[in-house]
Structure 1
């Protein structure tokens, strides 16, 4: 069974598990299926906006696909969430990605 099938099987038992959704989106990225990854990241962040790690990966995906304004907005939202959570490591990663894109 491939990793995507394994994660989907786990999600059948825990459909609201943000960690599993994040992992599934990353597996789709590895397979160059950005559309599926984007859908999952967006669904995850709509349900759990505090899941900080997904903002960075969604922003990078949007950058790769030429959606620079959406990437900037994603990084900005992620920075706000990271700051509220006092996750300064995530904040600095998001800020660096934001600055790379806006410089």
Structure 2
């Protein structure tokens, strides 16, 4: 972090670590990633999931949608699929449990 405080992977790793014990701090790092590194696809799934856990479903929905858009633009169809499944579950469209 000292060498490059804006490195996307480092910020993502820190956010992931904070998530286990300080969700607000994790949210700050995810928000920084979303604002400053929008093409870092890995952020979207975890950030949206955290917002959902915090009871902010509208923001989670927005982040999932943005993540699907970015992952499609980046050609990362694996990430797109994971985001779409999580989005569908958030929206009550997950039929696997039926």
Once the two structures are TM-superposed, the CA of residue 15 in structure 1 deviates from its matched residue by 1.0
In structure 1, what is the equivalent of residue 28 of structure 2?
39
Q: Quote the Cα distance in structure 1 between the aligned partners of 2:29 and 2:6.
A: 12
Q: What is the TM-score normalised by the length of structure 2?
A: 0.91
Per-residue CA deviations over 1:26-52 (Å, capped at 9, x if unaligned) read 000122x11101110111121110000
- The answer on 1:29 being equivalent to 2:29 is no
In structure 2, what is the equivalent of residue 53 of structure 1?
42
Once the two structures are TM-superposed, the CA of residue 14 in structure 1 deviates from its matched residue by 0.9
- Quick one: which of 84, 90, 96 aligns to 1:101? 90
Q: Quote the Cα distance in structure 2 between the aligned partners of 1:15 and 1:65.
A: 26
Q: Quote the Cα distance in structure 2 between the aligned partners of 1:87 and 1:30.
A: 27
Q: What is the TM-score normalised by the length of structure 1?
A: 0.87
Name whichever structure is richer in helix by fraction: 1
In structure 2, what is the equivalent of residue 14 of structure 1?
4
Mark the runs of 5 or more structure 2 residues left unpaired by the alignment.
Answer: 93-98
Q: State the 4+ residue runs in structure 1 displaced beyond 2 angstroms.
A: none
